[in-house]
Amino acid sequence: MYAVTIIILFSLGAVFGSFLNVLIHRLPLKQSILFPASHCPACRKPLRAVDNIPILSFILLGGRCRYCRYPIPYRYIIVEIINALLWVALYNQFGISPEFVLYTVLFSILIVCAYTDLDHYRILNSVVFAGFLIALFLIILLDSKHLKSSVAGMLVGALFMLFWAAVGKLLFNKTALGMGDIKLTALIGLFTGPQNILLIMLLAFLLASFIGITSALINRRLKDQRLPLAPFIAVASIIITLYGNQLIQRYLELLS
């Protein structure tokens, strides 16, 4: 039964990952996510159902359009696999539960925001505001006793980022954190509560600092280096959500 459940969740996660790819591609371009149907961006030919199977179609087609052989970005299969694996990981951690539902939604939002920030240096208001509405609806419906904690997490996340945005402005005399980062952090806090959002942001800043310094050393360029923060926030959120308790326990064991 466990194996069947994993296969079903992996497949559903991949299917939903395919929809996330539509959001990632179309929303920054202000295109409809419903019309037209899936098509090749080069030759514009509609994709047949057999060419639109998550993961499998990419492999069978060799990563190219069936008609014009235009390369399909690897992002498509990467997002489908990542989302599928995250659904499985969440099931292993929480089972089929309110937490599972909430975090599948959060992780989907994070994937979209991470890629739009990577591709366009933008965290879309439409995604974040939709996330707030969905989060509040699900929390009230599935986990209403934690509503106060969720609101506290949202406020802590927003205030934490506003503080560091002000510090960055004073130190560098320019905008260090965008409003998109602040709103995304507030949204994550709504899902995770106040304690976890602080852990998430500390880990996100550590990851971003490490990658930023490493990149600057390799490229020998620190000034005016632009680093999208949403991917690091997304990675940190996933790590803390899935393994935060284990990491804290391991850290306490090392201190004792």
171-207 residue pLDDT tens? 777 776 889 999 999 999 999 999 899 999 999 999 9
Helix ranges, 95-193 (H): 98-120, 125-142, 147-172, 179-192
Q: Are residues 15 and 121 in the same domain?
A: no
Q: pLDDT at residue 222 above 60? A: no
∠ CA 204-120-226, nearest 5°, is: 55
- Give the mean model confidence (pLDDT) for residues 83-105: 96
Q: Are residues 30 and 88 in the same domain?
A: yes
| Residue 188: predicted pLDDT | 97
Q: Are residues 196 and 214 in the same domain?
A: yes
Nearest CA among 182, 78, 171 for reference residue 128: 182
Q: Which long-range contacts (CB under 8 A, 24 or more apart) does 39-43 make?
A: 40/65, 40/67, 40/68, 40/70, 41/70, 42/68, 42/70, 43/67, 43/68, 43/70
For the chain, how many structural domains are there in total?
2
Q: pLDDT at residue 107 above 60? A: yes
- Domain stop point among 69, 95, 121: 95
- Domain stop point among 34, 61, 95: 95
Verify cis geometry, omega within 30 degrees of 0, for the bond prior to 36.
Answer: yes
133-155 residue pLDDT tens? 999 999 999 888 889 999 999 99
Q: Are residues 216 and 157 in the same domain?
A: yes
- Domain stop point among 95, 119, 151: 95
- Which residue's structure tokens are 């559903």? 12
Q: Are residues 213 and 123 in the same domain?
A: yes
Structural domain range at position 127: 97-256
| Residue 8: predicted pLDDT | 96
Cα–Cα distances (Å) from 215 to 105, 203, 208, 211, in that order, read 32, 18, 10, 6
Q: Which long-range contacts (CB under 8 A, 24 or more apart) does 227-230 make?
A: 228/117, 228/118, 228/121, 229/117, 229/177, 229/178, 229/181, 229/204, 230/110, 230/113, 230/114, 230/116, 230/117, 230/118, 230/123, 230/180, 230/181, 230/184
Q: Which residue did the predictor score with more confidence, 6 or 249? A: 6
Q: Are residues 81 and 117 in the same domain?
A: no
Q: Are residues 113 and 170 in the same domain?
A: yes
Nearest CA among 240, 236, 244, 242 for reference residue 211: 236
Q: pLDDT at residue 60 above 90? A: yes
Q: Are residues 238 and 116 in the same domain?
A: yes
d(CA 146, CA 150): 6
- Counting beta carbons within 10 angstroms of the beta carbon of residue 84, is it exposed (0 to 12), middle (13 to 18) or buried (19 or more)? buried
| Residue 224: predicted pLDDT | 60
Q: Are residues 62 and 137 in the same domain?
A: no
Q: Are residues 14 and 125 in the same domain?
A: no
Q: Are residues 101 and 228 in the same domain?
A: yes
Nearest CA among 111, 42, 105, 49 for reference residue 82: 111
Q: Are residues 135 and 77 in the same domain?
A: no
